Every structure is written in structure tokens, then in C-alpha cells.
């Protein structure tokens, strides 16, 4: 089938990419645009490791065709740190031990970002419900919740203290 050029904004930069109509966004990002933060954990829409932010929606890039993204604004984990400064979510995951192997982390952070855009003060139940489509085989989730709470507080302008004092020294 004929290839087509798709144009969108990726982490603030315009990109044009030649794709087949059947090509999944996760493959375009990883194989053609050197955007390897979004991971492939399952390919069946279960794990959330491939999560990206697309026009203000949190989507699993293994379930989106790249041709659907023409004209879109897209954010991946590569777009979070600005001028060398970590995003509050990245800082939160670091401070609160929200990761172990890190495979799920880009998707976790990108998914949590959309939650905090829509609800700056989520309860623990809100966070657990919102993150239910993102799986982690390492952490047991408790520290992921704490990481998101840390970021939410910081983004609200509150003074935050890590629950792991040794890391704050």
C-alpha cells in the first residue's frame, strides 16, 4: 500500500515522516524518530509502557496508527525536562523511589502528566484509578503513587519533602 507523509509536532518540534498506512505510532516513534522513551511492553494495549500525550489525551501508542496523528501535538518523556531541569514528575519518581528497572517509567510519567493537567489535586484513589492501565512488575505501585503526589504538590507550588529522607540530604 502507498506510503504517505504524516506531519505533527513532537515535543515542540515539527516532524514529517513517511509511513505505511498500517504503521503503529509506537514503531514510528522508536524506529524512525529516535524517540525510544515510549517502550513496547506488550503490544496488546495492556501495559501502558508506550503511553504518549496526543492532543491533550493520554493514549497508548501501540493502539494508534501514525496516519491518525497528522497535525497533532505530541508529548513523550523526551519532552519533559526543560533546559536540564527535571519536570516535577521526574523529580518525584526520583525522590520517592517510583521506579526500579525503569521500563514502565516513561509511560507512568506521561500518563500521570495528563492526570495532573486535568486534576491538580488528585486523591490517592484518583491516582490509583487513573493509573490502572499502566503496569509495573517491580515497584508494587506504592512509591509510584507517592511520586505522583510529590509532583502534584510541587506543581501546586507547595513545599515538598520526600518520604525517603536519606535522598533529601
User: In the set 54, 115, 136, 155, which binds ligand FES (CB under 6 A)?
Assistant: 136
Residue with cell 523529580: 91
Using an 8 Å Cβ cutoff, are 130 and 140 in contact?
A: no
User: In the set 15, 86, 138, 153, which binds ligand FES (CB under 6 A)?
Assistant: 138
- Between 139 and 147, name the residue whose CB sits nearer to ligand FES: 139
User: In the set 6, 29, 33, 47, which binds ligand FES (CB under 6 A)?
Assistant: 47
Using an 8 Å Cβ cutoff, are 77 and 10 in contact?
A: no
- Residue 42 to residue 67: CA distance in whole angstroms: 22
- Beta carbons within 10 angstroms of residue 160's beta carbon: 19
Using an 8 Å Cβ cutoff, are 26 and 40 in contact?
A: yes
Give me 20's grid cell: 505505511
Q: Is 141 in the site for ligand FES (CB under 6 A)?
A: no
Binding track, positions 82-111, relative to ligand FES; x by CB under 6 A: -----------------xxxxxx-------
User: In the set 22, 46, 156, 164, which binds ligand FES (CB under 6 A)?
Assistant: 46
Q: Which residues bind ligand FES (CB under 6 A)?
A: 40-43, 45-50, 60, 62, 99-104, 136-139
Amino acid at each position: 500500500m502507498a506510503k504517505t507523509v504524516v506531519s505533527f509536532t513532537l515535543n515542540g518540534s515539527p516532524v514529517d515522516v513517511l509511513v505505511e498506512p498500517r504503521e503503529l505510532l509506537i514503531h514510528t516513534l522508536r524506529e524512525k524518530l529516535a524517540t525510544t522513551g515510549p517502550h513496547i511492553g506488550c503490544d496488546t494495549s495492556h501495559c501502558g509502557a508506550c503511553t504518549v500525550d496526543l492532543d491533550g489525551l493520554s493514549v497508548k501508542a501501540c493502539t494508534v496508527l501514525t496516519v491518525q496523528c497528522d497535525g497533532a501535538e505530541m508529548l513523550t518523556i523526551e519532552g519533559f525536562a526543560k533546559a536540564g531541569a527535571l519536570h516535577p514528575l521526574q523529580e518525584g519518581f526520583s525522590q520517592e523511589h517510583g521506579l526500579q528497572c525503569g521500563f514502565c517509567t516513561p509511560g507512568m510519567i506521561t500518563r500521570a502528566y495528563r492526570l495532573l493537567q486535568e486534576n491538580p489535586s488528585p486523591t490517592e484513589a484518583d491516582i490509583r484509578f487513573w493509573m490502572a492501565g499502566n503496569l509495573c512488575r517491580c515497584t508494587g505501585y506504592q512509591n509510584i503513587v507517592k511520586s505522583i503526589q510529590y509532583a502534584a504538590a510541587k506543581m501546586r507550588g507547595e513545599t515538598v519533602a520526600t518520604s525517603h529522607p536519606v535522598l533529601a540530604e
